[in-house]
């Protein structure tokens, strides 16, 4: 069985961060989102992964490499997509890689808590009775997602907790259920017949929901599985911060042997200090992670904060935020919180009179001031 990870999207909802960085490489607890997808797939036993890439393909290739950082027997194949023409289009162009194998498709910006190994193992069986399995999650706002309507068949045994799918509806005004499609799917080779027989949507894309609906309408068995753990589609800043919070909540405290924490500093709770970091006269309340070669001086780092590598923070306070590499935060009088700060960003006060705010901001920037 193979895996297909989709990492070709533009991440428009995360601009301006994603003007210069693939959204799948934004870090959660200082590890790219995409790495969590790869690790979830590896935990199922799959060792043959195709990654669909787009405009940010070079950056993804550089970060992921040949896969040997995870396992010597892991084989990575990169599949360029000329434009983001839809998830079903990604399946279509990946057919030379996938062949007739069954496969799991995973959106590279999704994070799930559940172990996928039992689902993959059941789908790999020769006597598996269904041709596709979709993962669903109960959400409070189903009108913002693709939604599944299920049917419980009378022939199903009582213990069957994975009902058959009746139909899929994309962002319905009046949802028939609160079960949203998670960005993880299991397919056999019949999906290729489906993608060849659907038409582009109003967005000009081949939609995976249309392909699955085609399977349903042509008598193929589409099974549902409802996730019990968390699922986050890290498409917005609020989602990134929430996913970061969940990843940090699982941290085991650790201080690298070559990190420096002076006697005046205090570390409380689950705090990870990575290689070469310096913490001087500062307070860190975990869960939090401090990246390699980062320097904190007279600083407070609050819970659920990830500071990436080569960052400098002095005389400032940061909480429930993500700060990316090579940024500097100096002499900020108020606390920075609920923020996503990009690479090579400088935030500082100025002694120049008269006092005024002075900005250089890219397109789609957001600034909140007291």
What is the CATH code of the structural domain delimited by 2-236? 3.90.550.10
Mean pLDDT of the chain: 88
Contacts by 143-147, CB closer than 8 A, 24 or more apart: 143/171, 143/172, 143/173, 143/175, 144/171, 144/180, 145/171, 145/180, 145/181, 146/170, 146/171, 146/180, 146/181, 146/209, 147/171, 147/172, 147/175, 147/176, 147/177, 147/178, 147/179, 147/180, 147/181
């005024």: which residue's tokens?
A: 356
Judge whether 306 and 289 are in contact, CB under 8 Å.
Answer: yes
Q: Is the pLDDT of residue 160 over 50?
A: no
Count of beta carbons in the 10 Å neighbourhood of residue 220: 17
Token readout for 161 is 């907790």
Residues of the chain within CATH 3.90.550.10 domain(s) are 2-236
What is the pTM assigned to this prediction? 0.86
Report the relative pairing of strands 266-268 and 132-138 from DSSP bridges. unpaired
Which CATH architecture group holds 251-348?
A: 3 Solenoid (2.160)
Termini Cα distance of the chain: 54
Q: Is the pLDDT of residue 13 over 80?
A: no
Judge whether 127 and 173 are in contact, CB under 8 Å.
Answer: no
Mind listing the pLDDT tens digit for each residue in 338-358?
Answer: 888 888 888 888 766 666 565
What is the band of 359 on the pLDDT scale with cuts at 50, 70, 90? low
Which residues have CB under 8 Å from 88's CB, separation 6+? Answer: 194, 195, 198, 205, 206, 207, 208, 210, 211
Residues of the chain within CATH 2.160.10.10 domain(s) are 251-348
Selection from 164, 56, 58, 36 nearest residue 112 by Cα: 36
What is the band of 23 on the pLDDT scale with cuts at 50, 70, 90? confident
Q: Is the pLDDT of residue 159 over 50?
A: no
Mind listing the pLDDT tens digit for each residue in 50-102?
Answer: 999 988 889 999 999 999 999 999 999 999 998 888 999 999 999 999 999 99
Instruction: Please report the pLDDT score of residue 201 as a whole number.
Output: 87
* Residue with the larger pLDDT of the pair 26 and 293: 293
């Amino acid at each position: 069985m193979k895996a297909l990870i989709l990492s070709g999207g533009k991440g428009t909802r995360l601009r301006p961060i994603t003007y210069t960085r693939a959204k799948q490489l934004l870090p959660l607890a200082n590890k790219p989102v995409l790495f969590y997808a790869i690790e979830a797939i590896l935990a199922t036993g799959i060792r043959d992964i195709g990654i669909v890439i787009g405009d940010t393909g070079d950056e993804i290739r550089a970060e992921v490499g040949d896969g040997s950082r995870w396992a010597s027997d892991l084989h990575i194949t990169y599949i360029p997509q000329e434009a983001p023409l839809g998830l079903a289009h990604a399946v279509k162009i990946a057919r030379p890689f996938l062949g007739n194998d069954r496969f799991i498709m995973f959106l590279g910006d999704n994070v799930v808590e559940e172990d996928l190994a039992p689902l993959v193992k059941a789908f790999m069986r020769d006597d598996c009775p269904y041709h596709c399995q979709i993962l669903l999650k109960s959400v409070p706002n189903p009108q913002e997602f693709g939604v599944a309507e299920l049917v419980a068949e009378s022939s199903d045994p009582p213990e069957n907790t994975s009902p058959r799918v009746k139909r899929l509806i994309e962002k319905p005004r009046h949802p028939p259920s609160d079960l949203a499609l998670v960005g993880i799917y299991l397919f056999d080779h019949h999906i290729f017949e489906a993608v060849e027989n659907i038409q582009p949507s109003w967005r000009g894309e081949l939609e995976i929901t249309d392909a699955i609906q085609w399977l349903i309408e042509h008598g193929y068995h589409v099974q549902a599985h409802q996730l019990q753990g968390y699922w986050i589609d890290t498409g917005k800043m609020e989602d990134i911060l929430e996913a970061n919070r969940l990843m940090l909540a699982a941290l085991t405290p650790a201080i690298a042997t070559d990190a420096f924490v002076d006697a005046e500093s205090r570390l409380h709770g689950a705090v990870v200090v990575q290689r070469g970091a310096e913490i001087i006269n500062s307070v860190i309340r975990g869960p939090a992670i401090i990246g390699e070669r980062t320097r904190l001086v007279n600083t407070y780092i609050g819970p659920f904060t990830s500071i990436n590598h080569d960052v400098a923070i002095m005389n400032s306070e940061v909480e429930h935020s993500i700060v990316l590499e090579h940024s500097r935060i100096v002499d900020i009088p108020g606390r920075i919180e609920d923020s996503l700060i990009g690479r090579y960003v400088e935030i500082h006060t100025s002694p120049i009179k008269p006092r005024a705010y002075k900005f250089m901001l890219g397109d789609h920037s957001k600034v909140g001031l007291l």
